[in-house]
Amino acid sequence: MKKIYTNIYSALLAQLGLSFLLLHLTRYLFYFLNYNYFPEIKLSEWLNIISGGVKFDLAAVIYTNSLFILLQIQPFPFRHKMAFRKISGSIYLITNMLMLAFSMLDMVYFRFTLRRSTWMIFKEFSNENNITTILLKSLLHYWYMLPLFIAFSFLLGCVFKIISKSIEKKTQTTYLHIGNFAMLLLIPVLAIGGVRGDFKYTTRPITMSNAGEYSKNPVLVPLILNTPFCIFRTMQQEFYTIENYFKEEQVAEYFNPIRNLSKKESFRFNNVVIIILESFGRESVGFYNKELANGTYKGYTPFLDSLLGEGRTNLYSFANGRKSIDALPSVLMGIPAGEIPFVLTPYITNKTKSLPAILNEKGYTTAFFHGAPNGSMGFKALNNLIGIQKYYGMNEYGNDADFDGTWGIWDEPFFQFTARKLNSLKQPFFGTLFSVSSHEPFVVPEQYKNKFDKGDHPLRETIGYTDMALRRFFETAKTMKWFKNTLFVITGDHASISHFPEYNTSWGNMSVPIVFYHPGDSSIKKVEKNIVQQVDIMPSVLSYLHYDKPYLSFGENIFDENRKNIAINFHHGFQLFDGQYVLQLNDKNASSLYNYIKDPKLNDNLLSKMRSKKDSMENTVRAFIQQYHNRLIDDRLVVE
């Protein structure tokens, strides 16, 4: 047969294709060896698994071969030298054999963990002095994995050699030099798109949680992921370790996330709508800041101010994270962000019982609305994992003329779209709306330019625009029959730009508005001078609906007069808000104690003056950390 010659770039594509094909084949081998751990999979589910698997396999191949790719695209003649080709070829074979080795090892180890292994596997076994003995015994027990690995490695080596020998060295010309430098720029751009999942501006590099976009059944997530990807994405990330501050039977005395509600009243099937406003920090809201600027401060949210006065409002309200991706687990699952955003940890696939999942069991229609391109921020994936039935994004909106050019559909038209869609849902329904417009680059639609106060930062103008969109949403909702039978909860996803020194603090940086408003129930109308946090939303909604089964939430029911009145979040270290005091920890040890209400700029550290208060609050934080870390690690987020 006539020999086929290739250039170095087509050869590189073929070599990466070989790596991709072998990794992709390990997925089906993984399923064959562990099929009894998965339910019967329908053809449509397999198509989704394959679709998602292709994306994760591509990212894993790019991560694995990043050094090899870099060497091959160098636009210099030495890349054709025999020594250079041997070195780069050895790098390719070693890294890809390791990729296959970890994939195959996990086919066996999966049976003990029921999840794909991450970088943590190296730490899990780092203290084993007899690791060699363990590996040898495992190899004998699962002897069939060795010939499988040898077969895959042999195929890898043989085909790689054939491709490498086909590379033809061409005489260097000016046009060839230009082409080589162009490829030096183009290939890294393509590689970045591969690890991000696409080239959209709003897309983050895909993480393990994005697997949920391809299946509503968390059990199937390990089939969508691959082990090399999970290892790379968790590399150099410090995940949690088992904590032993208290004995297991004592820790609940200081902090207990198991919630038991009253069984006295029958369940009431009110609709629930949760609205999460992008970058709505407490500082922008005039209702909370009547003392600022010598009493002249008005804020930028006149409509939200009016709602805060008509619902259940706590004057001190906190987010449980500093990112948009922290808000959904906090609000919808009662699970806060710890040292690491929950959705970026391997524990995202743990068994959970979210607010929408509980309401699904009660016959609710559950829906999520986000005007960004579908899949943005990984929200669609998380929606699937926590049981939300319907997702409405930019695709479902269907009119790109209202696209803001960066993040998604402008809030005003998308909020109207949401109201109309809610009106079409079977009641009772549970809807979550996440806004997009109050975000960098801080622009508003052309017809609204100079209509809203810009204040000290362009963010304030977009806050005013979204507040107007919220007002128009309620005006539309009021005309619909379901309105007066609906509990609304409104919060910001996280705080943002700070101008006043009171808000440029560890408490101000975590402060967001939170209000519970029911137009048909004035009994909940009350302004309280105490604390609420985002993780309180789930237990409070369930309490309002008279849900009577035990469940897990790291928040409290705000309608319970006997609650602890605390909030815990992580801001350069854990901090506990208890009444008027905030205790801040540095590496799990108390570093400062402030009265953040009387001393909002946090100038007077009371740690040495209030030892008993410090000790009491420190015990609460440590119990929280122990409950949080241990339950994530042990997969105990559901009340059996």
DSSP string, 508-550: GGGB--EEEE-TT-GGG-EEEEEEEEGGGHHHHHHHHTT--S-
pLDDT at residue 124 above 90?
Answer: no
Structural domains for the chain: 8-233 (no CATH), 312-559 (3.40.720.10)
pLDDT at residue 101 above 90?
Answer: yes
Cβ atoms of residues 467 and 307 within 8 Å: no
Closest residue by Cα to residue 337 from 624, 639, 634, 640: 624
Determine the number of helices (DSSP H) and then strands (DSSP E) in the chain: 21, 14
Is residue 346 reached through a cis peptide bond, with omega within 30 degrees of 0 on the bond before it? no
52-93 per-position pLDDT tens digit: 999 999 999 999 999 998 888 887 777 778 888 899 999 999
d(CA 467, CA 473): 10
pLDDT for residue 201 = 52
d(CA 162, CA 135): 34
- The predicted model gives 527-554 an average pLDDT of 96
pLDDT for residue 203 = 53
pLDDT at residue 131 above 60?
Answer: no
Residue partners of 51: CB distance under 8 A and separation at least 6: 214
Other CB atoms closer than 10 Å to residue 247's CB: what's the count?
A: 7
pLDDT at residue 218 above 70?
Answer: no
DSSP E strands, 111-268:
258-259
pLDDT for residue 631 = 96
d(CA 135, CA 57): 27
- The predicted model gives 5-23 an average pLDDT of 85
DSSP state string for 139-184: HHHTTTHHHHHHHHHHHHHHHHHHHHHTBPP----HHHHHHHHHHH
pLDDT at residue 389 above 90?
Answer: yes
Structure tokens at 374: 């579908």
* Phi, psi at 168, each rounded to 5°: -105, 125
pLDDT at residue 188 above 80?
Answer: no
d(CA 582, CA 389): 39
- The predicted model gives 124-146 an average pLDDT of 67
* Phi, psi at 516, each rounded to 5°: -110, 120
pLDDT for residue 215 = 79
Closest residue by Cα to residue 15 from 158, 229, 193: 158
Exposure letters 582-619 (e unless 16+ CB within 10 A, then b): bbbbeeeebebbbebeebbebeeebeeeeeebbeebbb
Classify 376 as helix, strand or coil: helix
pTM for the model stands at 0.77
Residue 168 C-alpha from the chain's centroid: 47
pLDDT for residue 123 = 59
Structure tokens at 559: 């309608």
pLDDT for residue 130 = 54
Exposure letters 22-37 (e unless 16+ CB within 10 A, then b): bbbebbeebbebbeee
Cβ atoms of residues 375 and 428 within 8 Å: no
Q: Taking all residues of the chain, what is their mean pLDDT, rounded to a whole number?
A: 88
Residue partners of 195: CB distance under 8 A and separation at least 6: 59, 62, 63, 205, 206
pLDDT for residue 120 = 65
The pLDDT > 70 percentage for the chain reads 90
Inter-CA distances, 20 with 41, 51, 110, Å: 24, 14, 22
Closest residue by Cα to residue 581 from 590, 527, 589: 590
248-264 per-position pLDDT tens digit: 989 999 999 999 876 77
Element (H, E) at 429: strand 429-434
Structure tokens at 427: 């009641």
Inter-CA distances, 238 with 121, 182, 208, 330, Å: 12, 38, 16, 21
Cβ atoms of residues 276 and 492 within 8 Å: yes
* Phi, psi at 345, each rounded to 5°: -100, 160
Phi-psi category of 242—alpha, beta or left, where left has phi over 0 and alpha has psi -120 to 50? beta
Higher pLDDT, 164 or 513: 513
- The predicted model gives 178-198 an average pLDDT of 68
d(CA 217, CA 543): 28
pLDDT band at 2 (very low <50, low <70, confident <90, very high): very low
- The predicted model gives 348-359 an average pLDDT of 94
Cβ atoms of residues 309 and 294 within 8 Å: no
- The predicted model gives 199-218 an average pLDDT of 71
Of 153-167, 301-315, 532-546, give the lowest mean pLDDT range. Answer: 153-167
Task: Name the residue type at position 254.
Answer: Y
Residue 574 C-alpha from the chain's centroid: 19
Of 96-110, 159-173, 577-591, give the lowest mean pLDDT range. Answer: 159-173
